[in-house]
Amino acid sequence: MDSPERHPLFQRIEKHRRRSGRVRENVVVQAHGGGGKAMRDLIEDLVVRELGEPEIDEDQAFASISELGARGDRVAFTTDSFVVTPLEFPGGDIGRLAVNGTVNDLAVGGAEPVFLSCGLVLEEGLEIDTLRRILRSMGTAAREAGVRIVTGDTKVVPRGKADRMFINTSGIGVVPSGVKLSSRSVQPDDVLIVSGRLGDHGAAILVARGELDLDTDIPSDTAPLNDLVRTLLDAAPVHAMRDVTRGGLAAVLNEIALASEVGMVVDAQTIPVRPEVSGFCELLGLDPVHLANEGRLVAAVPSDSADAALAALRGHPMGADAVVVARCRPEPAGVVTIDTGFGGERILDMLVGEPLPRIC
């Protein structure tokens, strides 16, 4: 008699066990986070396939110290969590945000992003098709930014315990020797350059929520900044760099002004804003300088290097609208003001909470 291992039925079962996973459900169910076969199916069919990272490891990834060491002298490490409603919006989705957000956090510190992790918290009932699109978009965004997603984790929570899906990404980058950026090192004769038009992401999300009944599509500006940063760092001495995210330009400038104890004057006339965003803000009583962005940076450079920095930024597709928005001055230290363009000057502070539309 044949040994059990050679029995055709056994072989069939063994073949079945080894076939690559496939999700059959239309929506995420609790079992997808349960550690069993359903979870393996989800990871193989969606995470591995759509991210396009066949070697992604849920437990740990390994990196060669000597390879990293050849690219710079310091490792940069950052983490960020992403929650956004709706998950998909003109110009991007939560997956693209999760890649670009962490890439940008590394990039504006002068680091070249190398690896990302991907932690998923999925709400039971999330459509598999949506999840597939978002993971595919993450994979595309990672390839565009030149980073690899090397490890991850997936959890499923019961319906009502999360808002469809949350993503956490952590990132590791390498800072080339000689690159030293700090919000504390801005000088009183520096100028501040913004890399593009402001407020697109904040306006895009508010419009995409569909609560405003506005017949316009403003695309988010979500994009990886690392290539633009490298271009800028090669062209001009940069003292500080920040990505302009939540809180908008006003928050970033105030943080830099306080950290470096310099004054700043923003020229309201030069703030680059898309006409649709400008109209949107007028309508709701919002200010583009308080709206979020996901693909814009602010850089402080010595005023005599401003032209070189601007030329480099404008020569890059992501920096075509780059412009000097503010000038530093010694006093009043830590205070940002705005020249309204109308002859008046006023304080430009951070918002206390979220931007709230006015009644009338």
* Half-sphere exposure for 262 (CA within 13 Å, toward CB): 23
Binding mask 180-219 for other proteins (x = CB under 8 A): -------------------------------xxx------
Smallest separation, CB 341 to other proteins (Å): 6
- Please name the residue that has the structure tokens 């066949």: 54
- If the CB atoms of residues 4 and 343 are measured against other proteins, the closer one turns out to be 343
Nearer to other proteins, 157 or 268 (CB): 268
Q: Pairing state of beta strands 190-194 and 263-267?
A: unpaired
H or E stretch including 50? helix 49-51
Determine which residue in the list 90, 219, 279, 302 makes contact with other proteins, applying CB under 8 A: 279
Query: Can residue 27 be called a binding residue for other proteins (CB under 8 A)?
Result: no
Q: Is the dihedral of CA 24, 27, 32, 36 positive or negative?
A: negative
201, 355 Cβ separation under 8 angstroms: no
What is the number of other CB atoms lying within 10 angstroms of the CB of residue 6?
Answer: 9
The whole-angstrom separation of Cα 117 and Cα 167 is 10
Which has the closest alpha carbon to 346: 283, 267, 277, 272? Answer: 267
Taking the least distance from each CB to other proteins, the nearer of 259 and 268 is 268
Smallest Cα–Cα separation from 117: which of 46, 172, 69?
Answer: 172
d(CA 272, CA 196): 7
Shortest Å distance, C-beta 124 to other proteins: 22
According to the binding rule CB under 8 A, does residue 284 interact with other proteins? yes
**Burial (0-12, 13-18, 19+ Cβ within 10 Å), 19:** exposed
By CB under 8 A, residue 343 contacts other proteins: yes
Compare residues 147 and 335 and give the one whose CB is closer to other proteins. Answer: 335
- Binding residue (CB under 8 A) for other proteins from 34, 36, 285, 330: 285
| Residue 358 contacts other proteins per CB under 8 A | yes
Per CB under 8 A, 320 contacts other proteins: no
Distance of closest approach, residue 280 Cβ to other proteins, in angstroms: 11
Nearer to other proteins, 55 or 354 (CB): 354
Residues that bind other proteins (CB under 8 A): 211-213, 275, 278-279, 282, 284-285, 335, 337, 340-347, 349, 352-353, 356-360
